[in-house]
Structure 1
Amino acid sequence: MSFLDRIAACNNADLGQFEPWYVGTTRAGFLHRDFLPMIAVRPDLFGHRDGGWYLEPSLDTPAKRTAAMRDFLLELRARGLFGKAWRDEPYKVAPHFNDPTLLEMERAAVPWFGVRAYGPHMTGYVRKDDGLHIWVPRRSYDKPTFPGELDNTVAGGQPANIGILENLIKECAEEAAIPRKLAEQALAVGFIAYWNQSGRQLKPDVMTCFDLELPQDFVPRAHDGEVHAFELWPVQRVYETVRDTKQFKYNCNLVLIDFFVRHGMLRADDRDFFAIVEGLHRTQPSER
């Protein structure tokens, strides 16, 4: 196993299985060919031409699109499509984070429509005499997604109508009981991007990476039920666990690999260095 294996696991999408869908002339996402029958039954909402699917053009404002899409998604929910994943949490639909909002969509539906999602992922670390240590949470065993897997110190999806830093501060309080004054010291240090496919779902996602150096006497505390427990690990243990196992949630691996690069644990003369760094920033899908 290697870090390149972790990157490849995040970048497994085959766009040959998908068709693009548009809002006006803007590509908003991708629809898997096996999901299309659920779309095709609503010609009043989705039209098909020139190899793509188009949202009904009379829905000419973000508010109209949001309302119509929500009604449709509630129909799919009633048919059991989303299972326990439904959150009543709207995500912004737009090609890029700062682009105008095309519409807002329930979080659980975003990967079904191949919409790019965002979110902050923070590595909380401590400096000790014997080197860096990282606070590693284990996800609650009751979570509907990836229960019991290891995670980044604090992480979350990006709801509509909130900034990324403000969202991180909120998640710090909710997930780890990190007070606002301390959370505000988190530094945005870059991003990772990947194209991940899970069956009919596509995640062409971008995650903003943050570092937060925590005081030696601070202990994060599981607060909202998202985390089972926190443990403070020497960074070398985190390094080896990411490299050699699948214990961390698949995309959290990439955030930690980025941390290892930036903190000098991967050297420029490492034979995989350039492939690793390039692989952390796949804003476009890999050629297959």
Structure 2
Amino acid sequence: MSTAAAAAEAGQQHATAEAAAAAVPPAAVAAAAAPPFDFAACIPRFLHWVDFCNSGAAAAAADEFLLLTVGGSAVGFLKPSFAERLLQFPDVFRRDGGGLALHPSLATQQQRTAAVAGVLEVLRGEGLIEGWRNELYPAVRAFHDEPAFLIERAAAPHFGIKAYGVHINGYVTLPDGSKELWVARRSRSKPTWPGKLDHIAAGGQPHGLGCMENVVKECEEEASIPTELAARATAVGAVSYTSLQPAGLKRDVLYCFDLELPADFAPRPQDGEVEEFMRMPAWRVAEIMTTSDEYKENCNLVIIDFFFRHGYLTPDMPGYLELLRGLKSGDMS
């Protein structure tokens, strides 16, 4: 590439980032200079997001759902009405104490996967399972267990299986040491959370793919981040929650990654899932989370974790330990 062409491309990247920031509605415009900002005052609202994402915890604890077991090991939670529908497939499901179990004749993972897939095709045809993704999730008690069976992602909350994902905080460190986060606005045509603010990249953790492989894949697909740059992402922990949805229990563990990006790099939408990217000071992101519901709800937890780890939230702030504990409210196995 010629020097002139390189300069032109760099200028266009900078212009893209500036244009994206200018396109943000007033509720999400970052001021040029950071005003004094009280992160301690954000904690009550941050606790609200923890409670919101854990709307299913009480229902699970109160035995409002039926256990789904395989070989005596619990892998899911079923709404009673959904369990009754599954019992209409007696070659696949049967009663087991107060819950349901896969039929013992389904002795292998492959047999169970095929049998459950056949049931799901019927339920999909009835309109009971919506948002089909053609992506398989493992039904497991814990992340490193061998899956009891594999199941279509769209059916995960119906079966109350644990689902895992990777969420990436893309950020830039300024010369003064302050940090700015790259924020994505989800496409308004997406069937889930259209137009909401999101991380630079994130995705469910499918079967057969390593977490770091998934990080690199999602960064490239959603934000056009080159492999060599995405591979710098660092695993920094996880958050978990149990959410109550119309389909059932959404039991999620989100693996958190930090990706420090060069100041002159600007992500670009690629796969149609993101409408635009904006770079915002950390304080402005916290302000949006505190004063609006612009963010996809579970993203708030991952960003709160970022604030803890980068020193924006400190032990002298009231509610610090309660908030820290709340980020891991779900089953972390």
Q: How many aligned residue pairs are there?
A: 284
CA shift for structure 1 position 241: 1.2
Task: Tell me, yes or no, if the aligned pair for 2:243 and 2:249 is still in contact at 8 Å.
Answer: yes
Structure 1 segments, 4+ long, off by >2 Å, are none
Structure 2 match to 1:18: 65
2:277 is matched with which residue? 230
Q: Secondary structure at the match of 2:323?
A: helix
Residue 39 (structure 1) shift = 1.2
Where in structure 2 are the equivalents of 1:159-174 lying within 5 Å?
Answer: 159-174=206-221
Q: Counterpart in 2 of 1:118?
A: 164
- Residue type of the alignment partner of 2:53: C
Contact 2:109 2:149 in 1 (8 A): yes
- Decide which of 129, 134, 151 is 1:105's aligned counterpart: 151
Cα deviation, residue 129, structure 1 = 3.4
Do structure 1's residue 250 and structure 2's residue 314 form an aligned pair? no
SS at match of 1:98: coil
Percent of pairs identical after alignment? 45
**Aligned-CA RMSD value:** 1.2
Shift of 1:175: 0.3
* Residue 138 (structure 2) aligns with: 92
Separation in 1, partners of 2:287, 2:175: 20
> Normalized against structure 2, the TM-score is what?
0.83
Pairing 1:1-288 to 2, within 5 Å after superposition: 2-13=45-56, 14-15=59-60, 16-83=63-130, 85-129=131-175, 131-284=178-331
Letter paired with 2:291: D
SS of corresponding position for 2:162: coil
CA deviations 1:62-88 (Å, max 9, x no partner) are 0001111111101110001123x1011
Output one character per residue of 1:105-148: Cα deviation in whole Å (capped at 9) or x when no partner. Answer: 00000110000000110000011235211000011111111111
Q: Which deviations, in whole Å up to 9, do the C-alpha atoms of 1:220-274 show, x marking residues without a partner?
A: 0000001011001111010111122211111111000000011111110111100
Cα distance in structure 2, aligned partners of 1:147 and 1:118: 21
- Which structure 2 segments of 5+ residues have no match? 1-43
Deviation per CA, 1:42-81: give whole Å up to 9, x if none: 1221111311100011111000011111111011100011
Matches of 1:165 and 1:29, distance apart in 2: 26
Structure-2 change in CA distance of 1:284 and 1:171 (3 Å):
closer
Q: Which amino acid aligns with 2:144?
A: N
1: distance between equivalents of 2:214 and 2:96?
38
Deviates more, 1:11-20 or 1:273-282: 11-20
| Higher percent of residues as helix | 2
Aligned to 2:37: none
SS in 2 for 1:74: helix
Which secondary structure state, in structure 2, belongs to the residue aligned with residue 133 of structure 1? strand
Deviation at 1:40, TM superposition (A): 2.1
CA distance in 2, matches of 1:126, 1:169: 18
Within 1, Cα distance between the matches of 2:191 and 2:211?
24
1:199: how far off? 2.2
Give the distance between the partners of 2:81 and 2:185, measured in 1 at CA: 34
Provide the C-alpha distance between the structure 2 equivalents of 1:82 and 1:146, rounded to a whole number of angstroms: 18
Q: Distance in 2 between matches of 1:62 and 1:50?
A: 23
Q: TM-score, normalised by structure 1?
A: 0.96
Unaligned runs of 5+ in 1: none
